[in-house]
A and B are shown apart, each in its own frame.
Chain A
Amino acid sequence: MGLTTIDKQVSSLRAAVLALCLFLLSACGANQVIVESQFPQPTLEPIPVTLGVYFSEEFKTHTFVDDPENDTERSWVVETGTAQVNLWQNILNAMFAKVVYLDQPPSTDAPTSQVQAVLIPTISDLQYAIPAHTNTKVFELWLKYELALTNNTGQPIADWVMTAYGKTPDAFMQSNQDAVGAAAIVALRDAGANFAVNYPKVPAVNAWIQDSTATTSPLEDTR
């Protein structure tokens, strides 16, 4: 039996109410950004050194969560872990003759004899700004890294802080999530560029490179 006019109106009303509920619910969820990007192959002359790299679990799964200060705003969740690992592997593989990725940090109990030093990057801060916060027409993202270079028993060689910044203009038909994601990719590219170009300016790192390249050749690749 076909639907009567009243049935059809009730069905339409239900559909409209459902659509309204879904729309209202969508406003309650967090702004989720999963930063994923492939980065270009760096144009660098590799340093003849075997470097160990330890990415902590926190680094590999790095997620920034910002809860709103009031009920009218939505929280932000920015997942950069996968992109961080992609970026750092990409830049370090181009910068050093051999790179060994370690499953655990070096220590006196478990020295990593196959490498000349170990780099341990940590993300210590991430901040973002959207046009609603700043009244400018750009989305911005800052990253702060703490970098530790140790010898193969975990004794510190150098510790330094590095920042990265990315921004992207407010674009027509671009969602806030897409824009923050684009700003994050620019910030990650900046992190790679900053590290690759400025690491010799850290005196202790420079001294280590001079010593390592003068006295030794890269060890066997154990990747």
Chain B
Amino acid sequence: MTPSKLTQIIGLVGLLFTLQGCVTAKVDEMTYNPPEAGVGASSVVLLGRRHASNYDTERDFVQCVRNHIQGKDDSIDIVEEAQFLDALYPWFEPRTAPMHPGAIRELLAQPAVARKIQALDTQYMIWIDGNTERTDASGSMTCGVGPTGAGCFGFGTWSDESNYEAVIWDFSNQAEVGRINTSTSGQSYMPAVVVPIPIIAPVQGTACDGIGEQLLQFLSAKY
């Protein structure tokens, strides 16, 4: 095999690996009273809702939104979800978490909780509710191993759908100050002729970027 042919093959394989499936995304945003100078030295906490019986907001999605915001403005102090839940155990467990901003007042009436919240200096609490699920899958693929090597043949396709809502609560006013919705969907493909080539639609990643960008604009003085 000539070097030019080898380069072409490597290039083709590289191109196939970087291919992504198409994603359709929609983001709706409604916020009030964003902090003009950003959140400053106060902290923000991002929490996933996990009270529904049929789904949990994924921890890695909450982490992704956190990384998106801090990746673009590292001056925003976002308390890690697990750290906040442990610090305020048992008040933010799925069974006991406040479902409306008015419940914050009842929580702060307890001196131990008020002290912890004050120590964390939390200004905004952002609840993320939703999940990503596979809505359809079809196709088939066969893989085999023989004396001369291994390989797969076939074609698979599947579609994913994400629906997330972020609700922003202002701790000092004990009021809701914003709501951001994102819906994304996309189709992924996996053709296989000897080697399976995944063409993945980044459905959850697009939803994360959509919510993260809107929250960044709300929280950051730079955007």
Contact = CB atoms under 8 A, between A and B. Distances in A.
Interface of A: 39-45, 91, 136, 138, 165, 167-169, 189-190, 192-194, 196-197
A139 B199 CA distance: 29
Contacts of A39: 89
Contact of A138 (B56, B85, B88): B56
Given A45-B110, A169-B58, A40 B89 contact: yes
Contact of A193 (B54, B93, B112): B93
Given A42-B90, A43-B87, A192-B90, A197 B96 contact: yes
| Residue of B85, B90, B113 with most partner-chain A CB within 10 A | B90
A41 B110 CA distance: 16
Contacts of B93: 189-190, 193
B151 interface: no
Nearest to B53: A167
Contact of A44 (B54, B85, B86, B112): B112
Given A167-B56, A169-B56, A190-B95, A196 B110 contact: no
B222 interface: no
A39 B93 CA distance: 13
B111 interface: yes
Top 3 nearest A-B pairs (CB, nearest first) are A193-B90, A40-B86, A193-B93
Contacts of A197: 90-91, 95-96
Contacts of B105: none
A91 B89 CA distance: 10
Given A40-B89, A169-B56, A194 B110 contact: no
A39 B85 CA distance: 11
| Residue of A42, A43, A44 with most partner-chain B CB within 10 A | A43
Contacts of A169: 56, 58
Contacts of A165: 95
B72 interface: no
B149 to A, nearest CB: 20
B96 A41 contact: no
What's the dominant secondary structure at chain B's contact region?
loop
Contacts of A43: 87-91, 112-113, 116
A190 B88 contact: no
6 contacts: A45-B112, A136-B54, A169-B56, A193-B95, A194-B95, A197-B96
Contacts of A138: 56
Contacts of A167: 56
A171 to B, nearest CB: 10
Nearest to B107: A43
Contacts of A91: 90
Contacts of B113: 43
Contacts of A45: 110-112
B94 A190 contact: yes
Nearest to A166: B94
Contacts of A196: 90
Contacts of B56: 138, 167-169
A189 B97 CA distance: 13
Nearest to A195: B90
Contacts of B91: 43, 193, 197
Contacts of B58: 169
A91 B54 CA distance: 28
